[in-house]
Amino acid sequence: MTDTASLPRRNGSAPALRLAKRVAGLALTLAATFLGLLAITFVIGRVIPIDPVLAVLGERATAEQYEAAREAMGLNQPLWVQFGLYVRDALSGDFGKSLVTAKPVLEDVARVFPATLELATIATIFGVLFGIPAGVIAATRPGSLADQLVRLIGLMGYSMPVFWLGLMGLLVFYGELGWVGGPGRLDTSYEFMYELDVPARTGMILIDTALAGQWEIFANALSHILLPAGVLGYYSMAYISRMTRSFMIDQLGQEYITTARVKGMPEWRVVWVHALRNVMVPLITVIALSYANLLEGSVLTETVFAWPGLGLYITHALFSADMAAVMGGTIVVGTVFILLNMLSDVLYRLIDPRARA
């Protein structure tokens, strides 16, 4: 038994090795998931009752033209070879050409994705800004009126069809009250100005106009994004507030909370500093997940608000039987999903000292 205790020295080489292992593991997971993603879209593409050759050539092609095109597209090869080709193309960013726009799918997606990203980001900001405080307040007074209210607001968010809430928002805030801009990202008159006067740096109108100092267009874009972002943000808030509440109740029952109280810390500090820091650890994953869900929720929201983003692109492609575009869009959303998952994993390690190497 020693008289004094000392801190064990950290081993210098182990963390680096662990980090390398983790990165490798993560990359492997990413690759496997991406391959699975491609497999699913490939299978869907094969069961589809649309003949991809006819879709390209049109109904009037001769038999020779048909065969030639079929061969050129690799469709006479065995399935696994076709899949190999598909993976190779996908890895080089080639998802084929859209039938509707006659442009490479990736180019189309790159053009429409910023609109979706802008929408989902602002919605997540709403969700975090309102969801975390609501969840914390509910957790500190379980069973109270405030708690019931937060619970009800959250459950309502879980129960309303997003497209319907969007329509109701349009009806009230645009149709009746005229507080916000209507469908689309800009008024038609501003759309022209935006095309002419604002260099498209990011594709996100709010950022681009701010960078260009075009505050009038900025204001118009803001009035247009508020409603759809608010609608999506409501769902994000519902999710985040419920998870925050549940994590918070968990943490408030922990012994270190008693320690903070024994030290005479005021209640606000116990809750908003001691407990919330611990809540943020799992909450990061929740926020990333909610962000990913918003990208998905944008399919329906963009339809309602005529928001020219990825969701609208995919649904339009769906109705024109433009399968290359549908699958390309699906793969991009899936990839963003995977990347967000990875990001949350990395953030998690940054916030939780126990998870660090």
Partner 1 sequence: MSLLEVENLRVTFATEAGPVEAVRGVSFRLDRERLGIVGESGSGKTMTGRSVLRLIRPPGRIEADRMAFGGVDLMRISEREMRALRGRRIAMVMQDPKFSLNPVMRVGAQLTEGLRLRDGMSAREARAKALEALEAVQIRDPERVLDAYPHELSGGMGQRVMIAMMLIPEPDLLIADEPTSALDVTVQAEVLRILDALVRERGMGLMFISHDLNLVARFCDRVLVMYRGRIVEEIEAQRLSQATHPYTQGLLGCLPKIGGARGPLPTLARDAAWSE
Partner 2 sequence: MSGLRAWLIDPAPRSPMQARAGQLWLGWLRLARNPLALIGLLIIVALLAAAALAPWIATHDPYAQNLAGRLQPPLSPGHWLGTDEFGRDIWSRLVHGARITLYIVALVTVTAPVVGLIIGTVSGYFGGIVDTALMRLTDIFLAFPRLILALAFVAALGPGIENAVLAIALTAWPPYARVARAETLTVRGADFIAAVRLQGAGAGRIVVGHVMPMCVPSVIIRVTLDMAGIILTAAGLGFLGLGAQPPLPEWGLMIASGRKFLFEQWWVATMPGLAIFIVSLGFNLLGDGLRDVLDPRSATR
In contact, 119 and 232? CB cutoff 8 Å? yes
By a kind-dependent CB cut-off of 5 to 8 A, residue 15 interacts, out of partner 1, partner 2, none, with none
338 with 328: CB under 8 angstroms? no
C-alpha angle 207-293-357 in degrees, rounded to nearest 5: 85
- State the DSSP code for 9: P
Task: Choose among 140, 354, 159: nearest CA to 244.
Answer: 140
DSSP conformation letters of 182-209? -SSSS-HHHHHHHHHHS--SSS-HHHHH
**Identity of the residue, 36 or 266, whose beta carbon is nearer to partner 1 in the bound complex:** 266
Residues 6+ positions from 282 with CB-CB distance below 8 Å: 243, 247
Site for partner 2 in 302-321 (CB under 8 A): 303-304, 314-315, 318-319, 321
Q: What, of partner 1, partner 2, none, does residue 260 touch, CB below 5 to 8 Å by kind? A: partner 1
The single residue among 168, 346, 350, 357 that binds partner 2, judged by CB under 8 A, is 168
CA distances from 62 to 50, 69, 74 (A): 18, 11, 18
User: Do 309 and 130 contact (CB within 8 A), yes or no?
Assistant: no
Q: How far is the CB of 326 from partner 2 (least distance, A)?
A: 6
Site for partner 2 in 336-355 (CB under 8 A): 337-338, 341
DSSP state string for 30-98: HHHHHHHHHHHHHHHHHHSSS-HHHHHH-TT--HHHHHHHHHHTTTTS-HHHHHHHHHHHHHTT---B-
Please say whether the beta carbons of 296 and 333 come within 8 A: yes
- Of the pair 194, 316, the CB lying nearest partner 2 is at 316
Residue 152 binds which of partner 2, partner 1, none (CB < 5-8 A, kind-dependent)? partner 2
Q: Does 264 bind partner 1 (CB under 8 A)?
A: yes
Is 111 an interacting residue with respect to partner 2 (CB under 8 A)?
Answer: no
Residue 36 interacting with partner 2 (CB under 8 A): yes
Burial class (CB in 10 A: 0-12, 13-18, 19+), 271: buried
Choosing from 265, 289, 321, 338, the residue that interacts with partner 1 (CB under 8 A) is: 265
Residue count, binding to partner 2 (CB under 8 A)? 60
Binding string, residues 144-183; x marks residues near partner 1 by CB under 8 A: ----------------------------------------
Q: Side-chain half-sphere of 356: how many Cα atoms within 13 Å?
A: 6
Residues 112-151 that bind partner 2 (CB under 8 A): 142-143, 147-148, 151
Report 201-260 residues binding partner 1 (CB under 8 A).
253-256, 258-260
Q: Please give the structure tokens belonging to residue 180.
A: 């916000």
The rounded distance, in Å, linking the Cα atoms of 347 and 332 is 22
Q: Is 11 in the site for partner 1 (CB under 8 A)?
A: no
Q: Which does 254 bind (CB under 5 to 8 A by kind): partner 1, partner 2, none?
A: partner 1
Total number of residues shown for the chain: 357
The footprint of partner 1 (CB under 8 A) covers 1, 3-8, 253-256, 258-266, 269, 274, 277-278, 281, 351-354
The footprint of partner 2 (CB under 8 A) covers 29, 32-33, 36-37, 40-41, 44-45, 47-49, 142-143, 147-148, 151-152, 155-156, 158-165, 167-168, 170-171, 175, 246, 249-250, 292-293, 295-297, 299-300, 303-304, 314-315, 318-319, 321, 323, 326-327, 329-330, 333-334, 337-338, 341
